[in-house]
Amino acid sequence: MLVPVKYNVRNLLVRRTSTLLTVFGIGVSVAVFVAVMALVEGIRLTFVATGEPLNVLAIRNGAQSETGSLIEPASALAARTIPGVGRGPDGEPLVSVERMVYVQQPRLESGSSNVVMRGLGSTGRALRPVVHLTAGRWYVPGRRELTVSRTIAARFRDTSLGDELVSGRAHFRVVGIFDAGRSAYASEMWTGAEDISSAFERINYSNILARAADQGSVRTVIDALSEDPRMKFDARGERAFYAEQTKAATPVQILGNIIAIVMAVGSAFAAMNTMYAAVASRGREVAVLRALGFTRAAIALSFVTEAVLLSIAGGIVGGVGVVPLNGLSTGTTNWYTFSEMNFHFAVTAPLFARGVLFAAIMGLAGGILPALRASRMSPATAMRAL
């Protein structure tokens, strides 16, 4: 025979002060856990959302990222002749050979970070339909002009419409602002590939982006870029390439898990202290339960249930407290490319559920010992003590 759950709920309501303090402590731990995981999920979704299904991206073999790739001009331009590539309305192959550099820029608030400046080929914008102009105009190749992501313009100096961005001896005029949604392109500034070559004396290219003629030609394009002796690039579907970069979230996830574990231990002890106090003050109730025929196992389960209910309440409070972060735009360093990465917090339903489960586990860990103590109380001893 099990002790009714109603009994545990009423005890939590009677001891309001200790219940609220414990719920608050557990809620803070869950809020930190969910916030960090929402940050990690936001980074993951940024990369997963980047890329078109027919696009193939190629970098130099052995390079870890586009910015770390160096491709000789002859090899890059040979990509325009490979089979399987689609053609634009003008009959030209849909291939963009691009250059990328880092530009160290001060943030509006404090500190600085590397911001990616991408130099696109003539078809570069057409291959990225997720990006659209929101203010000003697109850069004109050859004029050292920039069209900057809206999120970069909101976070860095000298990147707003009409500003002049200076990097070393290179001067660029910001002539437009674009919106790239929640894709990785929201962390970039765009100009012409030849502008980067002249401004930064960079002859080599960084990457090749090609649009396959149809779904069946995607494999043909990848194989041609990978196996042609003139190139032998590391070529993948654009979506697969950016999905690989979700590992940029790994350091944040590790740090967040460490913080969550430390706080979870403290919250488990808080739940344990609350339940030990409950056991100490409810000796007569335990004696009555035993006298009514409830077994030690039933009493232990009842106290564990109470601790878990207490923690679940804290988990819900903590999860609800983080919901306002959902969709909030922020940025950090991409530990994969060591450049600025903008993304949005993503507080999803599965993540909320994980936070509540995390709280329940804390309650279970903190409730076991007090429950065992309650179940071992002798009815006679408990009654004499009171």
pLDDT, position 45? 87
pLDDT confidence bin for 149, thresholds 50/70/90: very high
For the stretch 327-378, pLDDT in tens is 888 887 776 777 888 888 999 999 999 999 999 988 888 888 888 887 887 6
One domain for residues 83 and 195:
yes
Residue 241 lies in a domain: no
For the stretch 244-289, pLDDT in tens is 877 766 777 787 778 778 877 887 787 788 888 877 777 777 777 7
d(CA 96, CA 68): 18
Residue 140 lies in a domain: yes
Residue 316 lies in a domain: yes
User: Domain span at residue 119?
Assistant: 61-232
One domain for residues 266 and 223:
no
Q: HSE (CB half, 13 Å, CA atoms) of 276?
A: 9
pLDDT confidence bin for 384, thresholds 50/70/90: low
One domain for residues 206 and 284:
no
pTM given for the model: 0.80
One domain for residues 282 and 227:
no
Q: Give one DSSP letter per residue of 315-342, joined into a string.
A: HHHHHHHHGGGTT-EEEEEETTTTEEEE
One domain for residues 93 and 204:
yes
Residue 53 lies in a domain: no
Residue 378 lies in a domain: yes
One domain for residues 197 and 76:
yes
Identity at 202, one-letter amino acid code: R
For the stretch 277-322, pLDDT in tens is 877 777 777 777 777 778 888 888 888 888 899 899 999 999 999 9
One domain for residues 32 and 152:
no
Q: What is the mean pLDDT of residues 62-68?
A: 88
Residue 52 lies in a domain: no
pLDDT, position 249? 66
Q: What share of the chain has pLDDT > 70, as a percent?
A: 96
Q: What is the mean pLDDT of residues 78-89?
A: 93
Residue 242 lies in a domain: no
Cα distances (Å, whole numbers) of residue 24 to 27, 231, 332, 341, 344: 5, 60, 29, 33, 26
pLDDT, position 1? 61
Query: SS3 breakdown of the chain: % helix, strand, coil, rounded to 5?
Result: 50, 20, 25
Domains held by the chain: number:
2
CA dihedral 120, 123, 128, 132 (to 10 degrees): 80
One domain for residues 315 and 368:
yes
Residues listed for the chain: 386
